[in-house]
Amino acid sequence: MDTKNKTSTIFAYFSEMQDFRVDRKKRHLLTDIITITIAAALCGIESYNDIEDFGVVREDWLKTFLELPNGIPSHDTINRVFANMDPVKFEACFRNWVNDILDGHVGQLISIDGKTIRGAKSHGIKSSIHMVSAWASDSNMVFGQVKVTEKSNEITAIPELLKSLLIKDCLISIDAMGCQEDIATCIITGEGDYLLAVKNNQSSLYQNIEDSFRFLKTAGYDQTIDIDHGRIETRKCTIITDLAHIEAPERWTNLKVLVKMESERCFKATGKTERSIRYYIGSKPADAAFYQKNIRGHWAIENKLHWTLDVVFHEDADRKRNKHAAQNFSLINKVALNILKNDQTRNISIRRKKNIASWDFKYLLMLLKF
């Protein structure tokens, strides 16, 4: 991955955050609080109390690059800051950092999907917080996030997220929840291309695509076979560029390609075979191999982002519920994940990198100056 200005710290971007606190009550710099919290997250530290303890134990080391005019902030102070900090402005700083450290991300696959933080429920509120994130597969980075209160609200949140991202010449992949005419238009307006999964939430379109593959001539075909984890998986991708059976195709801005993905899994131990068929629509004129690759690539957001946030960062068990705390800490986790994913000095797991960061001052400082 190409980067720019590697020697400058991420905290230069978060220093642009407007401090919401009253001047006479500020004993700790906002940038110091954010820095300590991200450093703690890189070490696998999660709770407010543990962040305070981390700061107290490492105060002398932290003073080598932080001001800390009144020492280490208490856990209550850290709680208040992240509960009351404007998440929209915080996320804007995050996006500025991501955009600046990359030497362009033209042509990348950007996958968009939602994840529920199940522990972050407020008193009296039944539904958990739901975060919709954008993941760039080639760069191994989260590009941005937006909060929704329910999964069904992803439809309105996705355009908001897309408008905040630089998506020119990128391919945007979204599951069936995002297969909406307005979202397709939003992507094209941003000068990107879309790859949208189609299911029965778009019943008419789904039926039209089935009819197309039943009666029309295909424009391309690609097949891959993987033998791994005790199974043989065959994936067949077929595309059609003839839109004759699509009712009012102009409703889907710049629609160019219909995609059929057939998967067959054979489990060696049992001999059992599983088959599935999925359909997609795309705006980019490309061959079947291109769509095969990017349909598979979409699921990196599940494996490399959502799974890691749950298993390595324990986000699902996080019970921060005060005001904006859950949303802001979700972003802190994503900052730490971006840094750790793109550290090329050690070819080891994220979990092991977090352990080493907690033990090795030099390694942690190098990560903080990513």
In this predicted model, what pLDDT tens digit does every residue of 81-102 receive, in sequence order?
A: 999 999 999 999 898 888 876 6
| pLDDT tens profile 121-168 | 554 455 567 889 999 988 888 989 988 866 667 888 899 999 988 898
pLDDT surpassing 50 at residue 4: no
Task: State yes or no: pLDDT of 15 exceeds 70.
Answer: yes
Coil, helix or strand for 144? strand
At 153 the pLDDT is 76
Q: Which of 3-12, 280-289, 293-302, 314-323 has the weakest average pLDDT?
A: 3-12
Which is higher by pLDDT, 2 or 14? 14
How many whole angstroms separate alpha carbon 163 and alpha carbon 186? Answer: 8
pTM of the model: 0.87
pLDDT band at 1 (very low <50, low <70, confident <90, very high): very low
> How is residue 86 annotated by DSSP?
-
Of 307, 304, 362, 318, the C-alpha closest to 41 is: 318
Q: Which domains occur in the chain, in start order? A: 11-98+322-368 (no CATH), 105-305 (3.90.350.10)
Cβ neighbours of residue 178 closer than 8 Å, sequence gap 6 or more: 112, 154, 155, 158, 196, 197
Contact status, residue 17 vs residue 90, Cβ threshold 8 Å? yes
Q: Which residues make Cβ contacts (< 8 Å) with residue 198, sequence separation at least 6?
A: 176, 179, 205, 206, 209, 279, 280, 281
Between 230 and 336, name the one with better pLDDT: 336
Q: What is the per-residue pLDDT for 223?
A: 96
Q: Is the pLDDT of residue 299 over 80?
A: yes
Eight-class DSSP state of 234: E
Q: Given a cut of 50, is residue 208 above it in pLDDT? A: yes
Q: Confidence class of residue 72 from pLDDT cuts 50, 70 and 90?
A: very high
* Model pLDDT, residue 14: 85
Please tell me whether residue 178 adopts helix, strand or coil conformation: helix
> pLDDT (tens digit, 9 = 90+) per residue, 107-132?
789 999 988 876 555 544 555 678 89
